[in-house]
Amino acid sequence: MNFNDFDFHPEIAKGIRIAGFKEPSPIQEMAIPVILNGTDIVGQAHTGTGKTAAFGLPILDKIAKGECERALIITPTRELATQVSDELYHLGRFADIRTLTVYGGVGYGRQIALIHKGVQIVVATPGRLKDLYKKGKIDVFNPEIIVLDEADEMLDMGFLDDIKEIFEYIPQNRQTLLFSATMPEPIKDLAANILYKPEYISVIGDNETTNNIIEQKYFVINESQRDDAIVKLLEVENVNKCIIFCRMKREVDRLVEHLEALGFSAKGLHGDLEQDEREVVVKAYRRGEIKIMVATDVAARGLDVKDVTHVFNYHIPFDPQSYVHRIGRTGRAGKSGIAITLVSTEEFKELQRIQKEVGAEMQLCTIDSGAGLEDSDFELIKENILDIQIKDEAKVLMEKYSEDEKELLLEKMISFYLTKEPIVTSGGIGYDEEAVNDMMDNYNYSQGSAPKRTNARKRR
């Protein structure tokens, strides 16, 4: 199939040719005929599969043919709104279709004036759009087609109530299109309330919620090794652009400072950045001036950047859907990508839960240093042992042994410690499968949930 089969308006077809589109992607091939037919739709597809053109082209075609006057597209973030607006502008420019991006952080005046002037497509973020409707500033804009793009991300960002309120201002006689990578229950409930007899379209297999062209790896490490592991991976992986996900803002700032000190091209993205600072960082990242983006989950919502080869999870995300969103930043538009997650022993069960819920095939990996223990390794072992609290019983026992027995006992106790806490040699990353099994058995035993193995390896 090719785009000529859709019989688009000549000026829209010209925009498609100039854009270099050849054959429709699966979501485009499935969704475009349904939308052209005027049916509501729930589309499930990952970002980077051509969703914007899937809903944008039929909307542009309807406007160009006079079948529709206005359309509203709601996106979770300013960056995504700008990207969608730009793509629709380029596809519809030969038909003289005007688009406007509406978002917070700037004055109302120009946005209101352009809407009143008669734009055909408004691409908006929920917060600013709700304010405009609530204050009666855009009563003249009555869209006939509504698109909710990345609905699950809007849910994660807390915009669900805003969306529900926005739909109170929108005419009932409309066509509604909802697109989402995942379908949690609140999104299913929303779809049931705002759509009329929708057709459900999915390009995600029954058991697939993560992109199958993304290679997914994980490394089991000690908590203190996260920075060293990230640095080593950045050195050994063939990274073009990457995103490193952290849980907290202060973690982002600290890691960026650490990477910059080592000579890496890195910048941070989190909620404390002013809008103009955020724009500078994102634009530099898109242009390739910055290779490494360190971000929190919320700050990266809606961030759509081409050629991201790697996603690193500095910490494992809090829930399975966050994992899906994170790794979806790579492997876009048919290209392969790599997602690497760092986990400690305490986080390993959470990784297994995510792996089971999202149906992900994750590979346990290690990187060997090719060397034995170095001075830094000895210092780490020493520091870790010195951090252990001394019990009174230990002092009593030590008084009962001779000096030779104390030396042997010390060697035995260090060996026992290394059995419980394997040490990866400098330059190496991660524990192999047998070491991980040993660690998990020891961890389960300490939690009282499993018998302890007696043949645990000291280290890999």
How would you classify residue 251: left for phi > 0, otherwise alpha for psi between -120 and 50, otherwise beta? alpha
Determine the pLDDT at residue 194. Answer: 93
The closest alpha carbon to 8, from 38, 33, 43, 30, belongs to: 33
The reply to whether the predicted model has a pTM over 0.85 is no
Beta bridge partners of 311: 243, 339
214-364 folds as Rossmann fold (3.40.50)
> Quick one: pLDDT at residue 174?
93
- pLDDT for the residue numbered 62: 96
Mind listing the pLDDT tens digit of every residue in the chain (460 residues)? 788 889 999 999 999 998 888 788 888 999 999 999 999 999 987 766 788 999 999 999 999 999 999 999 999 888 888 889 989 998 999 999 999 999 887 888 888 998 888 899 999 999 999 999 988 888 878 899 999 998 888 887 788 999 999 999 988 899 999 998 888 889 999 999 999 999 999 876 543 444 557 889 999 888 888 898 899 899 888 888 999 999 888 899 999 999 999 889 999 988 788 877 888 888 888 888 899 999 987 777 666 677 889 999 999 887 777 788 788 778 765 677 899 999 987 888 888 888 877 777 888 888 765 545 556 567 767 777 887 888 888 888 888 888 888 888 888 887 777 665 555 445 567 777 777 776 666 555 445 544 444 333 333 3
The reported pLDDT for the residue numbered 441 is 63
Are 111 and 335 within 8 A, CB to CB? no
Q: Which residues pair with 338 in a beta bridge?
A: 215, 310
399's tokens: 């008084």
Confirm or reject CATH 3.40.1550.20 for domain 3-202, answering yes or no: no
Residues of the chain with CATH 3.40.50.300: 3-202, 214-364
Tell me which DSSP letter residue 165 carries. Answer: H
Q: What is the pLDDT of residue 443?
A: 52
175: left (phi over 0), alpha (psi -120 to 50) or beta: beta
